[in-house]
Amino acid sequence: MTHLRSLFAGSETLSAAERAAMSSLRRGGISSVIWVVTERCNLKCIHCYEGGRVTPELSTEDALKIVERLEEAGKPLTFVSGGEPLLREDIMLLLGRLKERGIRVILSTNGTLVDEGVARKLADLGVDNVAIPLYGPEEMHDAFTRIPGSHERVMRALKLLSDHGLGLTIKTVVARRVLPYIRYLFDVAQTFNARAVYLCDFIPVGRGAFLREEVPSKEEWRALLDWFIEEMILGDAYDGVEIDIGLHPSTAIYVMKRLEERGIDISEAERKMRERRLSVEGRGFISISPTGDVLLSNYLTDLKIGNALRDDLRDVLNHPLYRAAGDSSMLRGRCGICPYRDMCGGSRVKARIYTGDLLGEDPTCLI
Ligand code: SF4
């Protein structure tokens, strides 16, 4: 969740969501939540971090209690995710209740189940944004999801949702085989007036554990960022489309240093990053699992810090793991002695997955 254009090009593309997140952070200490409402899915993506795992999920009654917990906790920006959330029979009820309680909602769906009726309903409910994954043109996307026809259904979903005026985000994973298609993803985003392209670093867990060769090198990441700098931060290509990077906070430090070298004033970006560290674990972000467990991250399912049915979410923030992850002075290795640790903090998810140490260094650092 690193918005490069907002940080460095003064873009206001995602400012409403950012303002909502900051205001809920002040009210309850929680800015954003990923709520995985189900792990059931109708695709079989080759990189899926859930790896086909399907844990039991909450009843409708209990899921509605989670909505109450979110309201009490300051109405954080809530990403309703899966699995495929539209497979839950009660999903419209849950989305409607979230909106009734004044919570900003981003629905993360693979798009294959979006038809005219679903698009209209999501618009009627006032869902703030729908995030849909795309990995490339038809042949590439269908090979990635391992479901023929999934690309066509994504295109249909984007058209329907756009026609109904819903805010859109194109999501992808920065795997090596996706890199040649990043420009295509921005083209699609522009065609459908999407607000952002979300590029999540590829993490070799779940099914992705068998695809370690898909992890991009640091040089490949730097080349991608250099392209963003030239064409979208200093240039105006894909104007109005935010570049949102997931699980790779040092990307922003890399961009900042490149701009600084060119004599560009980066003081405002620096101020924003000091105000709110880029690494979100332990800093206002939590995840809720299909069973209601509260996690530091949806990638770290063994690090439970509470249960949303049992606990007040504001109390969960006192858990020692949450406090440690958010305390940059406790970081170890290169992150522990890094001059940028208060702005960046390194990905705590990747530190844990690659080194086994939640507070260790982020081995994917680009600096
Ligand atoms: S060493 Fe850690 S804190 Fe410093 S820039 Fe790299 S990832 Fe960020």
Ligand 1 contacts CB of residue 346 (under 6 A): yes
Phi, psi (degrees; rounded to nearest 5) at 197: -115, 120
Give the pLDDT mean for 280-287.
95
Closest Cα to residue 170, out of 101, 260, 215, 106? 106
Ligand 1 contacts CB of residue 204 (under 6 A): no
Q: Quick one: pLDDT band at residue 26, thresholds 50, 70, 90?
A: low
Lowest pLDDT segment from 6-20, 238-252, 328-342, 349-363 = 6-20
Between these two residues, 245 and 276, which has the higher pLDDT value? 245
Ligand 1 contacts CB of residue 232 (under 6 A): no
* Distance separating alpha carbons of residues 72 and 283, to the nearest angstrom: 18
Contact in structure between 337 and 329 (CB atoms under 8 Å): no
Domains along the chain with CATH numbers: 2-329 (3.20.20.70)
Q: Which residue's CA lies nearest to atom 7 of ligand 1?
A: 346
Ligand 1 contacts CB of residue 225 (under 6 A): no
Q: Which segments of 300-367 are extended strands (E)?
A: 304-307
pLDDT of residue 206: 80
Of the segments 50-64, 168-182, 205-219, 269-283, which one has the largest average pLDDT value? 168-182
Q: Which residue's CA lies nearest to atom 2 of ligand 1?
A: 335
Contact in structure between 104 and 134 (CB atoms under 8 Å): no
Q: Quick one: pLDDT band at residue 68, thresholds 50, 70, 90?
A: very high
Closest Cα to residue 23, out of 86, 76, 94, 83? 76
Q: Which segments of the chain are extended strands (E)?
A: 2-3, 32-36, 77-81, 105-108, 129-133, 168-174, 196-201, 242-246, 285-288, 293-295, 304-307
Residue 54 per-residue DSSP state: -
Task: Say how many C-beta atoms besides its own lie within 10 A of residue 275's C-beta.
Answer: 9
What's the one-letter identity of residue 19?
R
Whether residue 24 has pLDDT greater than 80:
no
pLDDT of residue 10: 78
Spatial neighbors of 22 by CB under 8 A, at least 6 apart, are 31, 276
pLDDT of residue 334: 98
Contact in structure between 301 and 203 (CB atoms under 8 Å): no
